[in-house]
Structure 1
Amino acid sequence: MTAHDQLAGAVPDGGLLDGPVAVLANPTAGRGRRRLLLPAVLERLGAAGRDVWLLAADTPDEARAACRDAVRDGAAALVTIGGDGTSHLAMQAVGGSRVAFGPVPAGTGNDFAVEAGYPDDPLAAADVIAAALAAGRTHTLDLARLTGADGEQHWYGTVLAAGFDAIVNERANRMNWPRGPRRYDLAILVELARLRPRRYTLRLDGEEEHRFDAVLVAVGNCASYGGGMRICPMADPADGKLDVVVAGAVSRSTLVRIKPQVYRGTHVTHPQVRTYRAHTVELHAEEIVGYADGERLARLPVTVTAVPGALRLLR
């Protein structure tokens, strides 16, 4: 069974199936924290009475394939040690399946794990996951399913960025210098200088259509992205809905002033910010590539659907 085959829909909540636990650890997560965490996490999972498989992967493509193969080979659960990007890779294998999932937050951005109810301390989260394994306990949570114009589908857990934030990511990914976070900071400065509203078409649940100029559009399954920015502050990953936040044709100075408010979620009170809620969101704009869970997914137009109970969490 491939990750694409598993994009069929949700599964009911229930007890954990018998079988081993596969572990995917990102070696670069949290600037190397994985190397210190891995032995302790493996010890906790082993104490839960399950066989533990440590997956070998050095690249995102290898990690995606390793997760898919583990599911095919009978893993009952998949645990990640890393950030949102690592969780995203695992979701492509377990989304819409009966395989349980547990994220140990050890990355630069851990929005999904925190929004899903795990402690932000990685070892405390590992204890929660191990206890759920020992008890055979899972809880379901929604995922967002994104379909591109070519029909390719992706699961995501946090927020689809489809405006200025996505453009910054595209810029940063094309840059070879500087290294580390400074590359992203420089990309922000470059794209702020080039800031202009884009023309969007937004269709909600196949009926309600909106056309507008905007500099930022976000489609959230969860409230936050980017390491705690509550861009969709009212989003609930258990309500079967997606939250859409639109910042209209604001100026550079206004965008800069609004940004600190995003961490508190109070930006939605700004008169040029609009919010919507729907089960299915169709979004179109020229020259925009959408990012979710920090990963590059697809060029717009895209269709995003909330899939209730698509993920079985070890919690």
Structure 2
Amino acid sequence: MAGHAALAVHPASGHGAAARVAGRVAERLRAGVDRLDLLVANTVEESRALMHSSAAAGLDLLVVLGGDGAAHQGVQFCAGRDVRLGLVPAGTGNDFARALGIPDDPLAAADAILSGSERRVDLGRVGEAWFGTVLCAGFDALVSERANRLRWPSGPRRYDLAIVAELAAFRPKPLRVRTEHTTLELEATMVAVGNTTFYGGGIPICPDARPDDGLFDVTLVGRASRTELVRMLPRLRAGRHLGHPAVRTLRAREVVLDGADWPAYADGEPQGMLPRTITCVPGALRLAGAQADQTR
């Protein structure tokens, strides 16, 4: 493998894990490319500016070292461009990398990128933003909003604590879900529009989602009491929630969500308030080092 690559490092990812492994990942990548730019960014604005600077010099490959927030920025840059994206997971969630079969070990992930394997994957689009994993609204988006404000604990435990805190205040609301096939109006607890399977640090909210079929998997949870939600959580962690009476699923290329004054989150990042129109864009991203889908 040769060409011009950039390694975007988000030092705070994984409570400093990205910073600790950055030197070894850079050394591994330099052995397989003609040029490697090291882009160290502490803010979204810095990250975007550095990526565009490298692109002006003829970038072939952008490797992102960090978690899902860092991957989200890489997706914004590479989507629709002739620049491949490589993911080296070093965050607390790593849901996009997990769904794509990318090794957990950063050096193994770097080796996979250098192997030359490539996969075209779909992305979701909401407004001007792209996303690779799941867009959610309702209870789970409010949980994400609360989890983002917490400084302790880390990883999935932070998400669990946010769930407990949010349960006290949450009430189901009327929601309208429109797709190219149907329109549903219901009292809803939450909705998740999945390009891939996981969110919230490994929760398989859309267990049958595939990133290369040109469709979203939509998981809807209707009216549910606090007690029912608490009882559903273990099933959710195990991907067995689809059999619950309050849960239904859809598959669609485009989803319009409106009716409830809920925030929307995609890849764990805020996407404004409903209404939102979400579109699946087939093959929008060239992904380096990802495994082909082995589940079919």
Using a 3 Å threshold, how does the CA distance of structure 1 residues 276 and 34 change in structure 2: closer, same or farther?
same
Which one of the candidate residues 109, 120, 143 is aligned to 2:123?
Answer: 143
Match of residue 46, structure 1, among 10, 13, 30: 30
TM-score for the superposition, normalised by structure 1: 0.86
2:259 and 2:56 mapped to 1: Cα distance? 37
Per the alignment, residue 18 of structure 2 pairs with: 34
- Specify every segment of 5 or more residues in structure 1 that has no aligned partner in the other structure, as ranges: 1-15, 148-152
Question: Could you tell me which amino acid in structure 1 is paired with residue 178 of structure 2?
Answer: R
Q: Is the 8 A contact 1:111 1:227 kept in 2?
A: yes
After superposition, the C-alpha distances for 1:187-212 in whole angstroms (9 at most, x for unaligned) are 4333211121011111112x511111
- Go from structure 1 to structure 2 and tell me whether the alpha carbon gap of 1:221 and 1:60 turns closer, same or farther (over 3 Å shift): same
Structure-to-structure mapping, 1:1-315, within 5 angstroms: 19-132=3-116, 137-147=117-127, 153-173=128-148, 175=149, 179-181=152-154, 187-205=162-180, 207-315=181-289
Residues 21-63 of structure 1: per-residue CA shift (max 9 Å, x gap)? 1111111111111122111111111111320001132112221
1:285–1:191 CA distance, 2 compared to 1 (3 A) = farther
| CA 1:184–1:227: 2 relative to 1, 3 Å | closer
- Equivalent position SS for 1:109: coil
* Pair 1:178–1:308, CA change in 2 (3 A): closer
CA distance in 2, matches of 1:276, 1:252: 24
- RMSD, matched Cα: 1.9
Task: Quote the Cα distance in structure 2 between the aligned partners of 1:272 and 1:49.
Answer: 51
State the AA in 2 paired with 1:259: L
Residue 298 of structure 1 and its aligned partner are, at CA, apart by 2.0
Q: 1:52 to 1:204 in 2, by over 3 A?
A: same
Letter in 1 for 2:123: L
**Does the aligned pair in 1 maintain the 2:18–2:65 contact within 8 Å?**
yes
Please tell me whether the aligned partners of residues 3 and 33 of structure 2 are also in contact (alpha carbons under 8 angstroms).
Answer: no
**Offset from partner CA, 1:213-251 (integer Å, 9 cap, x none):** 111100000011111100000100010000100111011
Q: Secondary structure at the match of 2:241?
A: helix
User: Given the two structures, how large is their TM-score scaled by the length of structure 2?
Assistant: 0.91
1:224 maps to a residue whose letter is: F
Is the alpha carbon distance of 1:188 and 1:49 closer, same or farther for their aligned partners in structure 2, counting shifts above 3 Å? closer
Greater shift, 123-132 or 187-196, is seen at: 187-196
Shift of 1:141: 0.7
Matched length: 287
Aligned AA (1:146) = V
Counting aligned pairs with the same residue, the percent is 47
Which secondary structure does the structure 1 equivalent of 2:30 belong to?
helix
Q: Distance in 1 between matches of 2:164 and 2:237?
A: 20
Offset at 1:172?
A: 4.4
Equivalents in 1 of 2:160, 2:233: separation in Å?
Answer: 14
What are structure 2's unaligned runs of at least 5 residues?
A: 290-296
Give me the whole-angstrom Cα distance separating, in 1, the residues matched to 2:198 and 2:20. 27
